[in-house]
Structure 1
Amino acid sequence: MTSLEPFGARLRRAMDERGPLCVGIDPHASLLAAWGLDDDVAGLERFSRTVVAAMADRVAVLKPQSAFFERFGSRGVAVLEKSVQEAREAGALVVMDAKRGDIGSTMAAYAEAFLHRDAPLFSDALTVSPYLGYGSLRPAVELARENGAGLFVLALTSNPEGGEVQHAVRADGRGVGATMLAHLAAENAGAEPLGSFGAVVGATLGDLSAYDLDINGPLLAPGIGAQGATPADLPGVFGAAVRNVVPNVSRGVLRHGPDAGALRAAAERFAEEIRAAVDGA
């Protein structure tokens, strides 16, 4: 197996060349209907392939949400496999949004499914949940390193319920979310130009200056567009770490389909607004 350049280095280059934008591939039933597609495998395939064909040669990152494919069973997963392959072949990095998290051999099996170079669903990075303890992610961390892939660990998420866990304070006085950021900083120590182990940090959370976001790794930021955050909000939320932010837009782009030109134009507008906000920070 030939070695693959670390995910962090590939992501830094893609963001510099294509702009710091991640577009979600979220074929939920309401979007299929809005596109005039049936809520079945044929509609799923049409939707996903349209997004990939419109975006994969120009955006830095595509992020398929695994659940919307899994709900159709094995045929839906087959569509996901093909979408990942086609997106990567066209030059986009693929972050698989599956939010896996378990212990021991089960976590190792999840890692094998998404982070092993020979796996049908091999992706450049995987979202993971650390709330069985950060150490439970070790099999995924190790396999990602071996295969040039990365992780995005849920740290400070945009959903209101997340604070029940992420804002909880440990016996040592450190918050749980802050603890996850510290673990990631340790994973990325010494990496250049960017570490491969990132955090999911919501763009809707307001001023995060109380947190050390300088983890030498990427910050995947959901919440732009339909959830209410704008590109102009990014410097105020992320401060000095804003250049390592990968803003995710899903419905804000996807609602412009099924016309490929309209999808591309929407993505380009977001990318330009994000670049302007980051460059002006």
Structure 2
Amino acid sequence: MSGFGARLRRAMDERGPLCVGIDPHASLLAEWGLDDDVKGLERFSRTVVEAVADRVAVLKPQSAFFERFGSRGVAVLETTVAQAREAGALVLMDAKRGDIGSTMAAYAEAFLAPGSPLFSDALTVSPYLGYGSLAPAVSLARESGCGLFVLALTSNPEGGEVQHAVRSDGRNVAATVLAHLAAENAGEEPLGSFGAVVGATLGDLSSYDLDMGGALLAPGVGAQGATAADLPRVFGAALPRVVPNVSRGVLRFGPDVKALREAAERIAGEVRDVVAG
């Protein structure tokens, strides 16, 4: 299997640069006319996979919305991952794991070890126990051809109190994370396998070196207020490596499969036009 960065670049070129979230929270289940139970969860997830897994680059299940139903919810997540990958989408597991030592290694094995029921193409991780704490996940991702997306400049307002904190060397925490990722991706072409999560709602980020070789997962397009037209101003020269993440902006059109497809294709087209523009 080729490395995650190469697979992601190919998927972005062939299907358009878009990540669609699978976020079956209670309010969306209700909007779809589904009960807030495992059957509703299964119907929701199966419908999203049916609608878009064969046409978008990345699907991103939010693990928490499955875990809240216990083992039966995790079983639905396992099926969702398998079906999405079978349909050709890359699966980014949004679990935001972050710990130390053997615990971090176990988290990595759950999502990045071939043969695991939850084996995914990539995993979101948190570096806020120190970037070095991610070493077990980095190592296993390299070994298995998977990727990581590391929280760097997130779109939630609370993130700034950690991410903008200035270190003794004068560089802030977010810039330090980006520098670590640049080192991980050195020499990888056409795209590194270690990406960053950088919010599309943050405005001008020209003070940051976003040229870190990997993809930039950009939440905030759609319901949070950002649009495809905002991406050049936020990401500048890094725009060709941006993968906007859209959840409610697509999911609100369910449970109609055709409407879900049309929404995903429309947004992917808008992003493609901006990047080409």
Cα deviation 1:144-180 (Å, max 9, x = unaligned): 0000000000000000000000000000000000000
Distance 1:243 1:102 in 2: 32
Decide which of 8, 12, 18 is 1:11's aligned counterpart.
8
Cα deviation 1:8-56 (Å, max 9, x = unaligned): 0000000000000000000000000000000000000000000001010
- Counting aligned pairs with the same residue, the percent is 84
Decide which of 176, 179, 182 is 1:179's aligned counterpart.
176
Give the drift of 1:184: 0.1
Distance 1:279 1:168 in 2: 35
Once the two structures are superposed, the pairs formed by residues 106-125 of structure 1 within 5 Å of their partners are 106-125=103-122
Give the drift of 1:189: 0.2
Distance 2:266 2:234 in 1: 21
Which residue is 2:185 aligned to?
188
Distance 2:17 2:130 in 1: 30
Q: Runs of 5+ in structure 1 lacking a partner?
A: none
Decide which of 205, 210, 215 is 1:208's aligned counterpart.
205
Distance 1:96 1:162 in 2: 21
Q: Secondary structure at the match of 1:218?
A: strand
Which residue is 2:196 aligned to?
199
Cα deviation 1:69-126 (Å, max 9, x = unaligned): 0000000000000000000000000000000000000000000000001110000000
Matched, 1:271 2:268: yes
Which residue is 1:90 aligned to?
87
Cα RMSD (Å) of the superposition?
0.3
Which residue is 2:238 aligned to?
241
Partner amino acid, structure 2, of 1:279: A
Matched, 1:220 2:217: yes
What is the TM-score of this pair, normalised by structure 2? Answer: 1.00
Q: Runs of 5+ in structure 2 lacking a partner?
A: none
Decide which of 244, 252, 256 is 2:253's aligned counterpart.
256
Q: Secondary structure at the match of 1:196?
A: strand
Partner amino acid, structure 2, of 1:249: V
Partner amino acid, structure 1, of 2:10: R
Decide which of 166, 170, 173 is 1:169's aligned counterpart.
166
Q: Secondary structure at the match of 1:135?
A: helix
What is the TM-score of this pair, normalised by structure 1? Answer: 0.98
Decide which of 28, 32, 35 is 2:29's aligned counterpart.
32
Partner amino acid, structure 1, of 2:84: A
Which residue is 1:57 aligned to?
54
Partner amino acid, structure 1, of 2:41: L
Matched, 1:143 2:157: no
Between Structure 1 and Structure 2, how many residues are aligned? 277
Which residue is 2:156 aligned to?
159
Matched, 1:81 2:78: yes
- Would you identify which runs of 4 or more consecutive aligned residues in structure 1 move more than 6 Å? none
